[in-house]
Structure 1
Amino acid sequence: MDVQRAKEIYQFEGTIPVHLEGDSVWIENVDEANGMATVTVGNNPVNTKTVSVEHLKEAKE
């Protein structure tokens, strides 16, 4: 995924499924300047990671 798409998903008012290494994640923040995103893994709010947006995959329904 690219930074622009990650930002669009983050700002979208609905739900767009996103995966990181097979796990479902929620995008919490997008750092456009560095191409990074902070995500919450699954439903656990304390399980957050900061990763390159290139590692995120938009799930195709």
Structure 2
Amino acid sequence: MDTKRAMEIYSSKDTFSVQLSGEPVWIENVDEANGMATVQIGSDPLNTQTVSCDRLKEEGRE
């Protein structure tokens, strides 16, 4: 996904299904300048990673 879409999802009040390598994630923060997103993997709030936005996939979108 592109950085703009990641920011739209992060800013939205709606819930979107986003995955990283097939695992469900929640977008915690988006660094637009660097094209990076911090995501929570699964339901563990301590399990976070900062990854390139292009590694994120929104379910139902190409």
The residue number in structure 2 matching 1:17 is 17
Equivalenced residue count is: 61
What is the SS of the residue equivalent to 1:9?
helix
Deviation at 1:14, TM superposition (A): 1.2
Give the aligned CA root-mean-square deviation in angstroms.
Answer: 1.1
| Per-residue deviation, residues 15-59 of structure 1 (Å, max 9, x unmatched) | 000000000000000000000000000000000000000000001
What letter is aligned with 1:45?
A: P
TM-score (norm 1): 0.97
Q: Distance in 2 between matches of 1:18 and 1:54?
A: 12
Segments of 5+ residues of structure 2 without an aligned counterpart are none
Segments of 5+ residues of structure 1 without an aligned counterpart are none
Q: Percent identity?
A: 59
What is the SS of the residue equivalent to 2:33?
coil
TM-score (norm 2): 0.95
The residue number in structure 2 matching 1:40 is 40
Find runs of 4+ consecutive structure 1 residues off by over 2 angstroms.
none
